[in-house]
Amino acid sequence: KMSRHAQQLRDHDINPCVAETDASRKCMDDNNYNKDMCTAYFLKYKSCRKFWHDIMMQRKRNGVKPEMPSAEERKKMLESMG
């Protein structure tokens, strides 16, 4: 059984970067854990984390709840940005 933390990491409403996490992990698996082969995936993950962290901080400052938008709400936000 997955730990509570592991379940949260799989929850698209809590973790906005599930896809990036999975892509990085798959790249590592596919490339025999050679990190150099997966730099692009790590950078994508990092920029995903930073992007949503900044949005969370902004929402926190503005008193918006929940601080992390739901998966559905995030999709709409990204679409509106093009």
What residue spans define the domains of the chain?
A: 4-80
Instruction: Spell out the residues 6+ positions from residue 12 whose beta carbon is closer than 8 angstroms to its own.
Output: 18, 71
Residue 12: its pLDDT value, please?
A: 85
Residue 38: DSSP 8-state: G
Distance of CA 16 to the CA centre of its chain: 4
What does the pLDDT profile of the chain (82 residues) look like in tens digits? 778 888 877 888 889 999 999 999 999 999 999 999 999 999 999 999 999 999 999 999 999 999 999 999 999 999 999 8
For residues 8-42, one letter each, b for 16 or more C-beta atoms within 10 angstroms of the residue's C-beta and e for the rest, the string is: eeeeeeebbbeebbebbeebbeeeeeeeeebeebe
Residue 5: its pLDDT value, please?
A: 81
> CA-CA distance, 72 to 28, in Å (whole number)?
29
Q: What is the pTM of this model?
A: 0.83
